[in-house]
Amino acid sequence: MFRALLLAAIVASASAFNAGASAFRRTGVAPSVNMYAVTLKTPSGDMKIDCPEDTYILDKAEEDGIDLPYSCRAGACSTCCGKVTAGTIDQSDQSFLDDGQMSEGFVLTCVAYPTSDCTIETHKEEDLF
């Protein structure tokens, strides 16, 4: 009897961990992810990437072979600073920029997700101060 109760408890515990199964596993269909056209205005010229809404802009640029400055990759410094000139981004993971700097359009590309098609001037750390 004890073994049966133990087995039932283990099965119940294991199924509790499956509650957050991915949409793909539950439905067999991968969830759709919005893609956004991001134009990076670099000192070498304009570069365009198609960035998923769930990927940091710096990561996608790097994946596409675009060399951008970075240091901490955690939104805690200004090395990857850029300036949004069109469109919108989500950089809620950052902890370095103040509200005034963000309202001026400054962005930390290492922790910024696109939320629309956008244009970002890169290499703007010097302009921040």
Q: Please choose, from the candidates 52, 36, 120, the residue with its C-alpha nearest in 3D space to the C-alpha of residue 81.
A: 120
Beta strands in 20-125 (DSSP E): 35-42, 45-52, 81-86, 89-90, 106-108, 113-114, 118-121
Q: Is the pTM of this model over 0.85?
A: no
Per-residue pLDDT at 5 exceeds 80: no
More confident residue, 69 or 31: 69
Q: What is the pLDDT of residues 12-66, one digit of tens each?
A: 554 444 444 445 555 666 678 999 999 999 999 999 999 999 999 999 999 999 9
Q: What is the pLDDT of residues 82-122, one digit of tens each?
A: 999 999 999 999 999 999 999 999 999 999 999 999 999 99
Q: How far is CA 123 from the centre of its chain?
A: 19
- In degrees and rounded to multiples of 5, residue 64 shows phi and psi of -90, 10
